[in-house]
């Protein structure tokens, strides 16, 4: 079943897990795990075998046994056989070809999302070039709502990320004002706290809540503490909009994050019960990234891109408002350079969207990776071309707390100008009302501060 | 670039807010893009941070600055810098010779194994580790904890504290390590705390005190947090996500605290 003879060499890939790993486009993390293709020919041979693999095979042969891993169990439990029906007769290769045809319309793709397992989706992505990943992802529409509407066709949202190395309230407020003046923050105003302590988490949650209330900003807040800390905050009555958690694609990798599926379910219920959304109640915010399972030594011999896609099964179980692949954050051990980061970002977006998730991407890199601003511009532009849901907004692209480079407020404006992508309509209305954006959805040049910020800021500016 | 235009732009006139944060705010805009000055400043910082990753730590000089009688020099299983960047697995293990060095230095069952690793920023360790360790040791001794010989590790990752703590049979490990250099903080140090360190511990079983640098967390706040973790871990017999940092946030204690002007 897993054998092929190609260019006068015979290969036997033995099982699906190994086949997927060998067929995966090159990346340092799979080399580190000792599961990558040994040479180009072997990779292509694996892709040829994969192309002929029936999609049903993925239901018969879990890459991590059902008994050993609760994510495998979730995959099986989630699988919707009737949603799968329209593509059930296809091989992975046929599925790729079909995805590119008009028959795979936005509505059809939406209807099959819960019939696809993450391994099917990861497998087809391995046979797709970047232009395929972009074209198909662009057809997937995923709309979510809390205090505004995210993911509408040809829209682009941003997370305003006002991090500060000591969580200083004024330092955070300064970045929020700066970001709002460039129209950032409709996906969420989300702080990575320097301290995970309960008291400082609660302080930050209250502060964001008060700002959103005072200035009537149609958006939601999040403090990206550990889910157990956020649960305690909810118990204390803190006004939590979104519950955040980093998630991964195996039970053991999730354990390394200090979470279980039950814990996430408990957190989801707690957030739902607060009922703080106004136009919807999608109240979870998840972050993922290739390499997390390997980093926790919890990958079971499964390649990092397949592990990542398995995390999306965890995400969609809890109806998230936002899912963010923090693609270049993990470092060169897993994604070595700009080329690997770019492909991984687009794969994650494609796989997430095909599975029905509101996928954003933290287009980012660290200073020990072989990457620079030009690489990020490539990913940023392609991500938007693919219909990416949201990106980060960090002042000058430099996160002074997490010590990595993400995307700037200006980067989002570049995409808005290039592709004509406005933010969520409720938020856009607010921006226009305060003369931050003009009628054409562009940044409005202004010599003076918008009235709403003039009063609090004027004393500080003299 | 010295292109000083006189611009009345709301997005630049907020520049006094820079006194509250090192973030790159109030950059202004040309069209909707970033002004060239801001781009050039960014490229300068990126070049410096890239270079910082490659500067080796001077362990001999570091050892001289530490007020510790017993110091052991160790190396992970990594052999050179390029390998360090690509093989985190090796950076979490001790080399065979270092393992035997450590066995020889082992002194009973200490409460605490104290470890300094170069990590991704030698500058962070040079700048902050001596001061932190020299304040930490008296604080630990004052609480009557016993400490293993101070371990200095070349090419170490965070989890190097696990095999070291295990070999020393220590109850707790404290790893000071150079964090990945950021554009605005090429010298940021982190401290990782693990109760009952041993190989195979997960990151969820550690506590992290990060961003120790001039514009980040100050030494005394970091030490307060660390002493809290040590004391609590003694009581709860664990570390990690179940051990919550209950110290008042640094903002409230030692650091200068600024009111949130948006809510005045």
Band of pLDDT at residue A24, cut at 50, 70 and 90:
very high
Q: Which of B13, B32, B118 to mutate to test the interface with A (most CBs of A within 10 A)?
A: B32
| Structural domain boundaries in chain B | 59-236
CATH topology classification for A3-139: Annexin V; domain 1 (1.10.220)
CA distances from B124 to A331, A395, B56, B133, B150 (A): 19, 24, 11, 13, 18
| Chain A: residue whose CA lies nearest to B203 | A256
| pLDDT score recorded for residue B6 | 55
| pLDDT score recorded for residue B123 | 92
| Structural domain boundaries in chain A | 3-139, 144-433
Q: Could you tell me if residue A387 is left (phi over 0), alpha (psi between -120 and 50 degrees) or otherwise beta?
A: left
CATH of region A144-433? 3.20.20.70
- Rounded Cα distance between B232 and B239, Å, is 8
> Which of 58-117 (B) contact A at CB < 8 A?
85-89
Q: Please tell me if residue B251 touches chain A, with a CB cutoff of 8 Å.
A: yes
Cβ contacts (< 8 Å) between A414 and chain B: which residues? 32-33
Average pLDDT estimate for B52-57: 89
Eight-class DSSP state of A230: H
- Min mean pLDDT across A65-74, B6-15, B43-52, B198-207 is at B6-15
Average pLDDT estimate for A192-206: 92
Closest CA to A329 of A411, A235, A244, A394: A394
The pLDDT tens digits for A115-168 are 999 999 999 999 999 999 999 999 999 999 999 999 999 999 999 999 998 899
pLDDT over threshold 70, residue B215: yes
Q: Say if CB B194 and CB B172 are below 8 A apart.
A: yes
Q: Which of B45, B54, B118, B262 to mutate to test the interface with A (most CBs of A within 10 A)?
A: B262
The pLDDT tens digits for A321-361 are 999 999 999 999 999 999 999 999 999 999 999 999 999 99
Q: Please tell me if residue B213 touches chain A, with a CB cutoff of 8 Å.
A: yes
A5 pairs with which residues across the strands?
A10
| pLDDT score recorded for residue B203 | 86
Mark yes or no for CB contact B244/A169 under 8 Å.
Answer: no
Size of interface A-B (CB pairs under 8 A): 246
Q: Please tell me if residue B199 touches chain A, with a CB cutoff of 8 Å.
A: no
Nearest CB partner across the interface for B245, out of A196, A210, A448: A196
Closest CA to A316 of A294, A284, A346, A272: A284
Q: Say if CB A395 and CB A408 are below 8 A apart.
A: yes
Beta carbons within 10 angstroms of residue B222's beta carbon:
25
Closest CA to B93 of B192, B200, B208, B194: B200
Q: Say if CB B218 and CB B249 are below 8 A apart.
A: no
Q: How many residues does chain B have?
A: 264
**Is the four-CA dihedral A104, A105, A106, A110 of positive or negative sign?**
negative
Q: Please tell me if residue B44 touches chain A, with a CB cutoff of 8 Å.
A: no
| pLDDT score recorded for residue A197 | 87
Specify the residue for token string 């009555």.
Answer: A237
Average pLDDT over chain A reads 97
Mark yes or no for CB contact A295/B250 under 8 Å.
Answer: no
| Chain B: residue whose CA lies nearest to A451 | B10
- Rounded Cα distance between B106 and B97, Å, is 14
pLDDT over threshold 50, residue B250: no
CA of B136 vs chain A CAs: smallest distance (Å): 20
Cβ contacts (< 8 Å) between B45 and chain A: which residues? 398
Helices assigned H by DSSP within chain B: 10-13, 36-53, 59-65, 81-86, 88-91, 96-105, 122-142, 161-168, 219-236
| Chain B: residue whose CA lies nearest to A28 | B86
pLDDT over threshold 70, residue B254: no
Cβ contacts (< 8 Å) between A169 and chain B: which residues? 251, 257-260
A54 pairs with which residues across the strands?
A91
How much of chain B exceeds pLDDT 90, in percent? 76
Q: Say if CB A434 and CB A452 are below 8 A apart.
A: yes
Q: Please tell me if residue B22 touches chain A, with a CB cutoff of 8 Å.
A: yes
Cβ contacts (< 8 Å) between A176 and chain B: which residues? 262
| Chain A: residue whose CA lies nearest to B45 | A398
Cβ contacts (< 8 Å) between B43 and chain A: which residues? 373
Q: Which CATH number fits domain B59-236: 3.40.50.300, 1.10.287.3510, 1.10.10.10, 3.40.50.11240?
A: 3.40.50.11240
ipTM: 0.95
Concatenating the DSSP letter of every residue in B29-59 gives: -BTTBPPHHHHHHHHHHHHHHHHHHTPPP-H
Cβ contacts (< 8 Å) between B257 and chain A: which residues? 168-169
| pLDDT score recorded for residue B2 | 52
């Amino acid at each position: 079943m897993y054998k092929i003879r190609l260019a006068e060499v015979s290969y036997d890939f033995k099982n699906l897990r190994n086949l997927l790993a060998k067929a995966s486009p090159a990346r340092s993390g799979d080399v580190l795990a000792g599961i990558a293709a040994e040479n180009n020919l072997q990779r292509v041979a694996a892709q040829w075998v994969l192309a002929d693999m029936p999609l049903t095979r993925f239901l018969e042969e879990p890459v991590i046994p059902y008994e050993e891993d609760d994510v495998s169990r979730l995959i099986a439990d989630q699988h919707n056989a009737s949603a799968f029906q329209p593509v059930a007769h296809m091989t992975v290769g046929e599925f790729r070809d079909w995805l590119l045809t008009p028959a795979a319309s936005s509505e059809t793709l939406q209807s099959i999302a819960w019939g696809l397992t993450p391994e099917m989706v990861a497998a087809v992505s391995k046979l797709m070039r970047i232009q395929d990943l972009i074209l198909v992802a662009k057809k997937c529409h995923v709309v979510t709502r809390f205090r505004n509407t995210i993911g509408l066709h040809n829209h682009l949202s941003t997370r305003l990320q006002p991090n500060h190395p000591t969580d200083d309230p004024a330092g955070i407020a300064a970045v929020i004002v700066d970001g709002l003046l460039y129209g950032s923050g409709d996906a969420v105003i989300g702080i990575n706290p320097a301290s995970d302590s309960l008291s400082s988490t609660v302080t930050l949650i209250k502060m964001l809540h008060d700002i959103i209330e005072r200035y009537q900003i149609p958006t939601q807040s999040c403090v990206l503490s550990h889910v157990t800390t956020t649960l305690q905050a909810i118990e204390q009555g803190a006004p939590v909009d979104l519950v955040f958690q980093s998630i991964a694609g195996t039970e053991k990798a999730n354990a390394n994050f200090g979470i279980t599926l039950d814990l996430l379910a408990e957190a989801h219920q707690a957030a739902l019960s607060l009922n703080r959304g106004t136009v919807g109640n999608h109240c979870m915010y998840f972050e993922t990234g290739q390499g997390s399972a390997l980093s926790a030594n919890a990958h079971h011999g499964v390649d990092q891109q397949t592990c990542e896609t398995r995390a999306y099964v965890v995400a969609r179980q809890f109806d998230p408002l936002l899912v963010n692949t923090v693609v270049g954050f993990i470092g060169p051990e897993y994604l070595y350079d700009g080329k690997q980061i770019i492909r991984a970002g687009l794969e994650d977006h494609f796989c997430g969207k095909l599975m029905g998730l509101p996928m954003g991407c933290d287009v980012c890199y660290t200073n020990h990776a072989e990457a620079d601003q030009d690489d990020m511009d490539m990913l940023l532009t392609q991500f938007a071309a693919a219909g990416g849901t949201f990106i980060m907004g960090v002042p000058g692209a430099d996160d002074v707390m997490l010590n990595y480079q993400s995307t700037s407020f200006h980067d989002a404006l570049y995409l808005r100008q290039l592709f004509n992508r406005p933010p969520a309509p409720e938020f856009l209305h607010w921006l226009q009302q305060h003369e931050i954006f003009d009628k054409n959805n562009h940044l409005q040049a202004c010599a003076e501060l918008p009235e709403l910020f003039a009063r609090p800021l004027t004393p500080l500016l003299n | 670039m010295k292109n000083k235009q006189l611009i009345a732009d709301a997005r630049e006139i907020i520049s006094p807010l820079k006194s509250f944060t090192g973030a790159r705010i109030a950059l202004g805009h040309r069209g909707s893009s970033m002004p060239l000055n801001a781009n050039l400043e960014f490229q300068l910082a990126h070049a410096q941070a890239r270079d910082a990753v490659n500067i080796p730590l001077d362990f001999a000089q570091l050892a001289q600055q530490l007020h510790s009688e017993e110091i052991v020099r160790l190396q992970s299983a990594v052999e050179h810098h390029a390998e360090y960047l690509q093989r985190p697995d090796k950076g979490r293990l001790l080399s065979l010779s270092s393992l035997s060095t450590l066995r020889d230095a082992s002194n009973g069952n200490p409460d605490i194994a104290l470890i300094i690793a170069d990590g991704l920023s030698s500058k962070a360790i040079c700048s902050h580790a001596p001061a932190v360790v020299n304040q930490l040791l008296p604080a630990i001794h004052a609480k009557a904890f016993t400490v293993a010989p101070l371990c200095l590790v070349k090419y170490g990752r965070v989890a190097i504290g696990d095999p070291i703590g295990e070999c020393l049979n220590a109850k707790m490990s404290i790893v000071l390590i150079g964090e990945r250099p950021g554009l605005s903080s090429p010298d940021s140090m982190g401290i990782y705390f693990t109760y009952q360190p041993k190989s195979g511990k997960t990151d969820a079983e550690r506590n992290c005190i990060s961003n120790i640098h001039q514009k980040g967390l100050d030494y005394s706040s970091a030490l307060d947090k660390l002493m809290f973790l040590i004391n609590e871990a003694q009581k709860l017999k664990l570390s990690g996500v179940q051990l919550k940092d209950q110290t008042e946030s640094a903002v409230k204690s030692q650091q200068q605290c600024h009111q949130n002007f948006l809510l005045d």
